[in-house]
Each structure stands twice: as structure tokens, then as C-alpha cells.
Amino acid sequence: MTSPATDATARSPQATSLPALELGGLTKVFVVGRGGKKVTAVNNVSLHIGRGEVLALVGESGSGKSTIARLIAHLHEPSSGSMKLSGQVVPNNLRGAALTKFRKHVQMIFQDPYGSLNGLNTIGYILSRPLVIHGIARGKDIPAQVNTLLERVGLAPGATWAAKKPHELSGGQRQRVVIARALAARPELILADEPTSALDVSIRLDIMNLLLDLKDQEGLSMLFITHDLAGARYMADRVSVMYTGYIVEIGPSDQVIDAPQHPYTQLLRSAAPKPDEAMRPERVEARGEVPDLSNLPPGCPFEPRCPQARAACREGLPRMYDVGPGHQARCILHDPALAQQPLLHPERAPTV
Amino acid sequence: MNYLLRKFGLLLFTLWIAATLNFILPRLVPGDPVGAMMAKYQGQLTPAAADALRVAYGLNDQGSMSHQYFIYLGKLLRGDFGLSISQFPTPVIDVIALAAPWTIGLIGVTTIISFLLGSGLGLYSAWKRGSPLADWMPPVALFLNSMPYFWFALLLLYLFALKSSVFPLSGNLDPFIGEAWTAKWWSSMLRHAALPALTIIVTAAGGWLITMRNNVMGVMGEDYLAFARAKGLSEGRIVNRYVLKNALLPSLTSFGMALGFVVGGSILVETVFSYPGLGFYLYSAVAAVDYPLMQAIFLIIAAAVLIANFIVDMLYAVLDPRVRDGK
Amino acid sequence: MTAIPIARLTPLAWLRAGPLGVIWRSPRATTGAVIILLIAVLALLAPLISSYDPSSGAFTPWIKPGVGHLLGTTALGQDIFTQMLYGARLTLLIGIASGLISTAIGTALGLTAAYYGGRTGEVINTVTNIFLVLPGLPLLIIVSAFLRGGGVWAIILVISLTGWAWGARVLRSQALTLRNRDFIHAAVSTGESPARIIFKEMLPNLAGIIAANFFGTALYAVLSEAALSFIGIGDVSKVTWGTMLYWAQAKNALLQGAWWWVGAPGLGIAVLGMAFAFLNFGVDEISNPRSNHAGKATRVLRRKSVPKVVDAAGLPLMSIQHLDAGYVTPSGPVRAVRDVSLDVAPGEFLGLAGESGCGKSTLAFAATRLLDAPGAVFGGEARLAGQDLLSLTPEELRRTRWKDYSLVFQASMNILNPVIKVREQVYDAMQAHGVHDKTKLEARARELFELVGIRPDYLDAFPHQLSGGMKQRVVIAIALALEPKLVVMDEPTTALDVVVQRQILQEIDQVRRRLGISIIFITHDLSLLVEMSDRIAIMYAGEVVEEAPAQQIYTAPKHPYTQRLMTAFPPLSGARERREGIPGRPPSLAQEIVGCPFYERCAVHLPGTCDVKKPANVEVEPGHRVACFLQSPAVKPAVYQEEHDLASD
């Protein structure tokens, strides 16, 4: 068997046409508390997702990865920046009918299948709503369509499952319903916000495989948000790593994960569990924790924790450097001149 | 401090709303309030009193509504509430000055006692859940809390003042008691206050019991309690430092908010015992259609409750480190 | 904890019985409902029960309660019993109507404030707060005084307008929580209209709170009406229980000794009010179930007595033998841990892994006597250095726990007491076990903080000033305070980010090696466990199905479940190939399981064997135990081979 992700891209017929999604300088500033303190959760994010492509967004909590999905889904209004869906500009302040129409094209899958289904409604009702709202089925057609949806996500026979309420289902089954709901509107883009992290290990792969299969069958594009590098590697064609609202590295997933070019991605990789090596030899130099978003350092946001920090890191946000084909990293180490500067914290450097 | 400034802002704003309400209400009433009073007194109202009334309402003022309003606010700030009709020509402020200390003393002290007593019993009832005594407390508390204050006051009056003269029937002091703060004065004062106080404590404590019980049960589900228990802390320490400290915080919030209700109920107790406080005068003012007095007493009670609320907010800030840090 | 699947159902369960079902689940609410229904029936049937007219003064005044007049007569010669019957009508009407109106206002404003938030929310919030703090009754009195003569509906209106604020506040905070639930986000991103989201998605989920609020405001309305009538505001010519009190007071009933005239209506109000309060209290209690960590020690329900202490020589540090534990539920016991035997050697790091609901946390909490009710131990032994923890009295347990063994709980926001300083929470663990010297406490606390990698000046911080990772370090420091021989860790890093998780795991690994303590580490994250552990036990449906040294269980798992688990997570390196999860779900622990619990999901099961009897737990290699017929010498290896070929086709 070949890699599920790369295999899919190769098969996708429209890989070269207009990207499914393009974000240009997307920014979201939240005002928190009564003091009017401002927090920039997403900072000038530009990226694109090709047709039939899976882009993974990787980061720790507070990195802004979920906020991006909510901005794309228009659950929050972006503070600035632009967004194009299949080449068409989507205004930031969509309202009313235009917004409903837009929602048909972009659907979300949430993290916690216990929280994302209203416990009082039947599965059938939950799945009928997107069909009705977006005019996909009417009247007597609805139950048949609902059954088809359920069977497509592996819940057969559909009629039996449609009559149940969420509490009668296991976590994995609920997540299948959530996926079916997202598919119901026949969207082009799926935003999957940590769809497996609330599930048991034994069923995570099933859900990931289901998503990959559906993506292939429907020609969907997908934003896959996760904190798990291995999961990103399994699912995605490309990976974007986020830290404190910035993209710090983006590129093909085997390059970003197997040979990370940003010290933060390197840290994430070394921190991930690796059952094939006993942990004793490798000692991760991970100092401190993610800084307070309302009080970021002036330069590179990772500088305070970075073992490789140079003086230049404190002089403003580094730009994105090309580090390989379609692979960029926001780190001055890729500027040959600046990389010559002495280390700010030689004691943090890995002792090899 | 940010938190307290905000609370103080709300205090001022609410006071202003109450004052404005006071200004609007008589103007909303169909017809002329002075006319209504004239009718009520059927000619017993002297022309001087009627004039005073008009002055009190600014009805003699031919200026615009906003002009009247600012005159009214200005008078309020100077403590000028006009003249009382029922005790004409005593200024309303004098009536209040005479009555307020008794009310603040009686209701202030009893509210605090009933809060402490009720919270203590509520803590016991939640912590010892499953024991017969603890499980009987909530229904009894709910019953006591559902009794009309004044009705329980009547019962006490009947049993302890009428049937047996353990306590005096009415008033705040024996007549001709002489100088204040003497032993004789204290004994008379306390005997007069006993029944009203008992009424308020018994009826209000039930509410605090239920509130505290709910809060304690909330804390009993918290992770830090499971951790404290695992650490092997003694029962006393868990209750004092973990349960009580955390459960008191939401209780304080409820205390602030329920204060208005409790004080409202308590003032009726004064009327039953003819205890010459604000509640008693409010009752007399209603009976005598003495609008100026009625409204002034409302404002004073509102102000007192709001200030008490603000004190509770300050206490909260002292007890909760998260509030101090503005979280 | 393993109890979650059960707890998760409770808030939803009442809805299966319809919206009124909530009342019948609480005996107290049922009492309240019955009282109100009774009063309502008596009020409606008043003409049938009494032939008198409530207002005609046809009788002798001041008759004592007796046969002719059940509750006596008034000063005006009216029959009090008849007045009570008819008075109940208006009293109930005022209570219920005001309750409905103010609940409607409160619900509408609370929901609007929560749904729209922003400026609209702030304005509503401020208005609500103002109405909350303004003293209700005095406001009622002056408003009513000006609206004198408006009749019953004016009273209802005034009471409603002053009584809605509490409900609005409660509704708003509940709806705000609801607003941030994912199913609301899902409805929004599906394209549902705001009206439909509010009425179809949010409102039904708030039914319990709204009901509780209605009963609360009805109580307020009944008491307010009584108070207003008592001071003569409102229409005293109408008969309500409140106006009856007014007339009793006006005619000096008590001075005349007519206690019944005062007693009856007041008691009526108190009982009606109590009924509303019972409903409010009962509905609230059912809609917001609360867990309870206040029990002293896990109940031990085993039958035969076991020796309290046995000779520790030659025994492992911790020895769990045939432990049976679970939950006592109304529909019978749930056996979450089934006949589990497990040993921990001194200095050993034992990993305990399995899916959620497999009983791993129940096992750890039961063995350490920390399982909260309704949890209980049904049988077996748990010995620490020869001493049976299950036989200890609560006081003995209190002294043993933390000194001989300690626990690290799952990282959570509220794992530390938010209102006292970290220092006190480190100290009190030591003080509870006899360390009282201030300098010793200080020195030890600093030492512990350095051990787990936090600056000692954080001792003077409050928990909210610490990040999640730092809190968890504090918890670990506290667990190490008395140098226990064993630390049980229940998913200590699950809620944390990968980098912080790795930092903490490194600290744990260093500390346990330096101090030579044993650790039982519970997690569902196998890849992490393989890296950390000396030995791993895999649990499935309450049983330990395989137990082996970590590297061995990773490279050569024997149980089909373990085999599937080991490939059920995507790898970080190596070929990117498709992998499969484990289809199906574990069997319910509420039932008896015949045969192997993994039978249903197992691709290589042997029908006629695995589903008929339990596989024995056999040692296939030194230190490697498996409960599977395919590893049992009794079953032919050929069968296994054949099945295996079939499965991999």
C-alpha cells in the first residue's frame, strides 16, 4: 500500500486548477475582558488549499489554529485580510442569505462529538437540517437522503441509526454522524477541527481513514487541524505549523515533519512520543511555555524559548524564507548572514 | 482598582436610576397626586400642606420637565426631600433621621446573624448529607423561607407578647426610659428588639441555608477537593480552608443580590411590632398617602441596600484572589 | 474517570420521560407538585365543597374552629374555610400568572443577552443587575401605591416587572455556556437562523432551569402579593389569602384571640410557597447533578475477611489480588474492574493502558481507596508492603495515604484550591502527616519545586497565576512531598500540550530514578507509555488481558487486542501507509461477560471456544502474561495459524 495522502493528490483530477481556498493576511484581534485588552489570535496568515488537497494546521493550544477554522467558517468575523473560495472573493462581513449560501460550500467538523450533537434531537433530525436549509432535499426525499448519508459514513442500515438519539451512540459513531452532517450540504471544503482527539485511540484511525476515503470519493478539500504531528503526517499533503497566531513553517508534510526547518517544529517533533526509542537518551531542551498572547516579545515569538536564538531574532518578526520546494520557514537561521551571529543562549544548544 | 471602580460605577448608576424612577412615578400617575391626597384628607389638608406638596413635586415650577428634573436632583443631593404630609410640617429628612438608626440596627444585625447561622447550617447540611438531621434541614428551611415574614411575626407576637407577656407588644423602648446607653436602656432596647429580630433570623436563615448547601455541594464535586482528601488532610482543615472558603464566595454574591429582598421583607416586620423604623414609617406613609415620605424612604432603603452590596463586593475582592487580579 | 459514560447520560435521561419527567424524578419536587395540584383542585371545586359565600357576613363573628365552621369565622361573620377555598383561586392565579410573565421576560432577556452578546448583552446585563439590587418590596410598594385601584392584573404586572431579574441572570449565564457549546456552533455553520437556534436548539436544553426559575418567581409572587395586601395596597375587597391577613390585622384578630383567622391564611401561603420552593429546589437538583468527592474512603463490600497485614518479605511493593470493583447503580452493579491481579516491584514504572471505560482509572482509585460513591470495591485485596489497604479504617487510611503512597490526578483547571496560596497547599500535605517545623516545611517545599522544575518563588502565587503545566508540576511536587514508595498517576499529562507534556514526563522519569519510587502510570496513550514504562499492563473491559515488559509488548504483542492497539496510531516516522483502527466497541460492563471480552471485535477469535469460557491468564514467557486461548497450550497452535492466515487475507 502507498501513502494514503500522497496517493490521493496524485489521483485528484483538478489539482492544478484554482485553489479551493486562499487566505491573504488573515488577522483576528479579540478584545478580552472588560479592560479592553487586545489579543491577536491569528496574525497575518496567508495560505492556500488546493482542490482535493488536505492541509494540516499543527500547533499547541493558543496557537490560533482553531480560530483560523472559525474565521473561515465565518463563526467569527476576521479583523482584516482576504479570503477566496474557488477563486471567488468572500467578503469578511457576510450576512443573511449570502452567508447561508456561503455555508453550503464550507462545513465544519468539531472536536468533541459529545458536545457537537444536540442531545435532544434524533440523528435523523440533525442530518435533515442541512438538507432542508440548503434545498438539497424536500419532503419525502429527506429520510432517504439521510439514510444514504448515514450509510456513507459506515452507519448501516441508515433508518435504524436515524431514529436514535446521540446518547445511544459511542464516541466514534457520533463522530461519524458529525461527519455525515458536514457532508450533507455537499460542501467543497471541510474544516476538521481536531476531529479525533476526543476519541479513543482504537477508533481514531477509523475516523481518519473515513475522512480520507470521503475526500477521495467526493473530491473534497480539507483543512485538518491537530496538535499531533503523526496524525498530520498521516492525513495531510501539506502541513502548516502555527505558533502564537503566526505560521512559522509550511510545506509538504514529509518535508516539514521528517526534516523540520523551524526550531519550533523541531521542538514539537522531538516532544512527540516515539515508542520505538526509549526516552532516556534524548533530552528535549524545551524551556518555558507558550507566551501570553497579549504580551508577545517584539521579535520572533519563539525567541524566548529557542535554543538557536540570535540577536537578530529580537529585531522584529522574521520573514518567511524559502527552504525547499513549496517549503517555507519563518526563521532567520535561513538567512546565511544572520545565521552567523553568535548564539544568545549557548547553554541551551543541544549537546551533541 | 478596576473591579471596585466598576462596582462603584454601578452603585452610582443604580442610585441615579432609583432617583429618576422616583421623579417619574408621580408624573406617570393619571391625575394629580396632590389632588389625590386632597381627596384622601377630605379638607383636612391645610393649604400650607398642599403648597408644600406642590413644592415637593416641583409642580409649582412652570419650567420644563428637564428643569424640574435638575432642581429635583439638586434637592436630593442636599438631602431635601420636602415636608411630610402625615406629620406636617416636619421635614421628611427629620423623620428619616429618627427612624433610620433603628432599622439599620435591627435589620443590619439580624441579616448578618441569619446569614452566618443559615450558612453554617447549610454547610452542615451539605457536608453531613445522609445523616437524618442534615437531610431534614432543607425541607424545614424551605418551609421557613416560604412563610410571609409578617405572618410569622404575628404568630410570635400572639404567643410571646399576648398569651404570655415575655416580651413587650410594640415599640422600640419603654416610655420614659431616660438616658440612652445605660444598662436599663440596653435591657429595654433588647427586649423590644427580641421578637422582631427572631422573626427575621428564623425566616431569612432558611434561604441562606439552601444557598450555602447548594454552593457546598458544588465545591464537593471540584477536583481540588478530591485532591485535598487524597492528601490525607483532616476533616476540619478540608472544611475550613477548602470547602468553606470556596463555598462562601458564591454565597456572598447571592447575599448581595438577595439583600434587597430580605430587607424588603424585614421592613414589614417593623409594622407588626410597631417598631419605629423606616419600614413602619413606610407603612404609615402608604396608609396616609404621604407620597414624599414614602418616596424618600424608598430611596434611603435603596441606597442602604446598594451600599451594603458594595461592601459585599469589597469583601469578595478581599477573599477571592482571582478578582483581585482582574480575572 | 471511568464513571463518565454513566454520568454523561444523566442530564439527558430525564428528557426521555418528557418535559414534566423532571418533576417526578425528585421526591421533593413531586411533593410540591402534589400540594399545588391539591390546592388548585380545592380552589376550583370551592362551590362544591362549601355552600357558603366567601364574603357574606351571615354568621356570628369570632366563632372558633369547630364542626359548623372548620376554620371559624371572621369579625365580620364570614366563614374562614370558605374564604380559604375561594381565596386560593386569586392567590394561585397571581402566583402562576406573575411567575409565567416574569419567567417569560427573564428568559427572553437572558437568552437575547447570551445569544447576541456584545453591546446588546451588556445593556441587558446592566439593566438586570440594577433590578436585582433594587430592594424589591419597597419598589413594589411605591409603584403599587401610585397604581392604586388597578385591580388584580395591575398587581400581577407590577410583581412580574420587579421579579424577572433573577431569572434573566441565571438564564443568561446558563445560555452563555450553551452558546459556546459545539452543537450551537454546528447549527450556526450549518446555516440555521438565529430564531431556530434560540428556540429549537437552546431553549429545550434550558427547560430545567426555566422550570426551576418559574417556581422560584411564583414563590416570590405569592409572598409579594401577601405583603402588598397586608399593608392594604391592592384591592382588599377581593378575597385572597393576603387580603384575609389584612382584614385579620385590621380587625385586631390577635387581640381578640382569634388566632385561627391569622393562622389559616398565613399557613396556606407558607404551604403554597413551600410547594413552589420544593419544585424549584427539586428541579434544580435534578437538572444540575453534582458529583461528590467528600466521602471519607471507598466502600469495601467484600465478604470474607482477609488478614490485615501479611509478611512483606518476598512480596512485591504493591500487590493487587483478584480485585473486583465498580459502581452501585439503581439498575444493578457495574463491574468496571473484574478479577484483576497486578504487581508492582519496588522502583518499577508500571504502565496501565486501555480505552476509556476499560476500568483502568477505577482500578487505580479502588486499590487506593479513592473511588467516590457510588463506586465500591466488591472483592479482592490490595496490599502495599504487606498491608491490605482495603481493610484500613478511614483514619488509618488518612495517615497512610500520602506517606506510603500518593496520587497525581489528571491535570485540570481546578486541581488546586483557587483561593489559597500554593505554599499552603504544599505545606498542608506535609502538616497532615506530622511535619510542622516551619523551616523544614520551607526547605522541603523549595527542594520539591526545584525537583519538578519550577522556581520556588511560585510558592507564593495563587493557582490562577500558574499555567496548566505549572499547576501539574505543583501537583507532582505535592505527591512527592513525603517521599512515598509508590505514586499512582492517572492521565497526569493528557490535558497538556505536547511540549509541556514532554517536559513533565522527563521530570517524572528523572525523579523516579533518583528517588527509586514505583509508579503506576495510567493513560490511553500507548505510544507514550511504551517509551516511559518498564512494564505495561493492557486492560480491556475490566480485565488485564496482557502484561509484559514494555519493549516486549511493543515488539512482540501476543493478545490480538494489543496487536491491534500497537498499530492503531499513526507513526511519526517510517513508511506512510494505511493503518486500521479496531472496529466495534467494548461490551457493556453492566452485564456479565461470558468468554473473552474481546470476542466481538477480534478478527482471529475461535467460535465455540472464546465465546464460551474465559481464557486463563497464562505466563507465556517469563514476565509476559496473556489471557488468550491462542496462547493457551490447551488450544492447538495450528488453529491459530489457520485463523491468522484467514484474517490477513
Percent of residues, chain C, with pLDDT higher than 90: 37
Which residues touch C609 (CB under 8 Å, ≥6 apart)?
C629, C635
Neighbours of A258 (CB within 10 A): 14
Distance (Å, whole) CA B233 – CA C85: 57
The answer to whether the peptide bond before residue B89 is cis (omega within 30 degrees of 0) is: yes
At A248 the three-state DSSP class reads: strand
- Its pTM stands at 0.86
**Residue A81 phi, psi dihedral angles, 5° rounding:** 105, 170
Neighbours of C289 (CB within 10 A): 12
DSSP code, position A217: H
Q: What's the pLDDT band for A244 if we cut at 50, 70, 90?
A: very high
State the smallest CA–CA distance between residue B227 and chain C in angstroms.
Answer: 7
Q: Which residue has the cell 502548516?
A: A240
> Are C223 and B309 in contact (CB < 8 Å)?
no
Q: What's the pLDDT at B37?
A: 65
Q: What's the pLDDT at A120?
A: 87
Chain-centroid distance of CA C141 in Å reads 42
Domain-embedded: residue C102: yes
Domain-embedded: residue C187: yes
Q: What are the chain B neighbours of C412 within 8 Å (beta carbons)?
A: 223
Q: What are the chain C neighbours of A234 within 8 Å (beta carbons)?
A: 570, 576, 579
Mutate to test the interface with A, among C498, C510, C539, C580 (most CBs of A within 10 A): C498
pLDDT exceeds 80 at position C297: no
Q: What's the pLDDT band for C383 if we cut at 50, 70, 90?
A: very high
> Are B6 and A33 in contact (CB < 8 Å)?
no
For residue C548, what is the enclosing H or E element? strand C543-549
Domain-embedded: residue C172: yes
- pLDDT, tens only, A123-158: 999 999 999 999 998 888 999 999 999 999 999 899
Residue A207: which region, alpha, beta or left (left: phi > 0; alpha: psi -120 to 50)?
Answer: alpha
Distance (Å, whole) CA A84 – CA A22: 5
Q: Which residue has the cell 364574603?
A: C55
Distance (Å, whole) CA B7 – CA B5: 5
Distance (Å, whole) CA A311 – CA A342: 8
Look up residue B315 and give its three cell numbers: 469583601
pLDDT exceeds 90 at position B6: no
Alpha-carbon distances, residue C274 vs A291, B117, C223, C265, C287 (angstroms): 53, 21, 11, 14, 20
Q: What's the pLDDT at C642?
A: 52
Residue A205 forms contact with C (CB below 8 Å):
yes
Q: What's the pLDDT band for C310 if we cut at 50, 70, 90?
A: confident
Domain-embedded: residue C398: no
Domain-embedded: residue C223: yes
Q: What's the pLDDT band for B58 if we cut at 50, 70, 90?
A: low
Chain-centroid distance of CA B200 in Å reads 11
- Taken in order A250, A255, A261, A266, is the CA torsion positive or negative? positive
Q: What rounded mean pLDDT belongs to chain A?
A: 87
Distance (Å, whole) CA C300 – CA B278: 60
**Looking at the partner chain, which of A73, A115, A202 has a beta carbon nearest the beta carbon of C565?**
A202
| Domain interval for residue C221 | 68-288
Q: What interface predicted TM-score (ipTM) does this complex get?
A: 0.88
Domain-embedded: residue C510: no
Alpha-carbon distances, residue C291 vs B216, B240, C8, C16, C295 (angstroms): 11, 20, 12, 22, 11
Q: Where does A219-331 have alpha helices with state H? A: 229-235, 253-258, 263-271
Q: What is the 3-state secondary structure (H, E, C) of B36-100?
A: HHHHHHCCCCCHHHHHHHHHHHCCCCCCCHHHHHHHHHHHHHCCCCCECCCCCCCEHHHHHHHHH
Q: Which residue has the cell 469495601?
A: C300
Distance (Å, whole) CA C601 – CA C606: 12
- pLDDT, tens only, A281-336: 455 555 677 888 888 888 999 998 888 889 999 998 999 999 999 999 999 999 99
Residue B27 forms contact with A (CB below 8 Å):
no
Residues C264 and C84: beta-carbon distance below 8 Å: yes
User: For residues C247 and A348, which has the higher predicted lDDT (pLDDT)?
Assistant: C247
For residue B155, what is the enclosing H or E element? helix B149-157
For residue A6, what is the enclosing H or E element? helix A4-11
CB contact burial B244-269 (16+ within 10 A = b; e otherwise): bbbbbbbbbbbbbbbbbbbbbbbbbb
Neighbours of C494 (CB within 10 A): 15
Q: What's the pLDDT band for B63 if we cut at 50, 70, 90?
A: low
Look up residue A46 and give its three cell numbers: 496567508
Mutate to test the interface with B, among C30, C126, C134, C467 (most CBs of B within 10 A): C134
What is the pLDDT averaged over residues C508-520?
A: 91
Neighbours of C83 (CB within 10 A): 28
Residues 542-561 of C with CB under 8 A from B: none
Residues A59 and A241: beta-carbon distance below 8 Å: yes
Max Cα-Cα span within chain C = 105
State the smallest CA–CA distance between residue B187 and chain C in angstroms.
Answer: 26
> Are B127 and C294 in contact (CB < 8 Å)?
yes
Ranking A106-110, B100-104, C147-151 by mean pLDDT, the lowest is: C147-151
For residue A179, what is the enclosing H or E element? helix A171-184
> Are A229 and C506 in contact (CB < 8 Å)?
no
Distance from the first to the final alpha carbon of chain B: 13
**Residue B316 phi, psi dihedral angles, 5° rounding:** -60, -45
Instruction: Indicate the number of domains in chain C.
Output: 1
- pLDDT, tens only, C562-618: 999 888 888 888 888 898 888 888 898 888 888 899 998 998 888 888 888 889 888
Look up residue C311 and give its three cell numbers: 509478611
Q: What's the pLDDT at A34?
A: 61
State the smallest CA–CA distance between residue A249 and chain B in angstroms.
Answer: 33
Residues A181 and A108: beta-carbon distance below 8 Å: no
* CATH classification at residue C217: 1.10.3720.10
Which residues touch C269 (CB under 8 Å, ≥6 apart)?
B146, B147, B148, B151, C91, C222, C223, C226, C241, C242
- Taken in order B97, B103, B108, B109, is the CA torsion positive or negative? positive
Neighbours of A285 (CB within 10 A): 17
Distance (Å, whole) CA A68 – CA A78: 9
Q: Which residue has the cell 537518551?
A: A281
pLDDT exceeds 90 at position C502: no
CB contact burial B135-169 (16+ within 10 A = b; e otherwise): eebbbebbbbbbbbbbbbbbbbbbebbeeeeebbe
Domain-embedded: residue C37: no
How many residues would you count in chain B?
Answer: 327
> Are C136 and B260 in contact (CB < 8 Å)?
yes
Ranking C233-237, C290-294, C428-432 by mean pLDDT, the lowest is: C290-294
Taking each helix axis from N to C end, the angle separating A123-133 and A171-184, rounded to the nearest 10 degrees, works out to: 20
Ranking A284-293, A312-321, B265-274, C171-180 by mean pLDDT, the lowest is: A284-293
Alpha-carbon distances, residue C469 vs A170, A341, C460 (angstroms): 30, 33, 17
**Residue C144 phi, psi dihedral angles, 5° rounding:** -65, -35
**Looking at the partner chain, which of C191, C509, C524 has a beta carbon nearest the beta carbon of A133?**
C191
Q: What are the chain B neighbours of C281 within 8 Å (beta carbons)?
A: 138, 142, 210
Residues 329-388 of C with CB under 8 A from A: 355-356
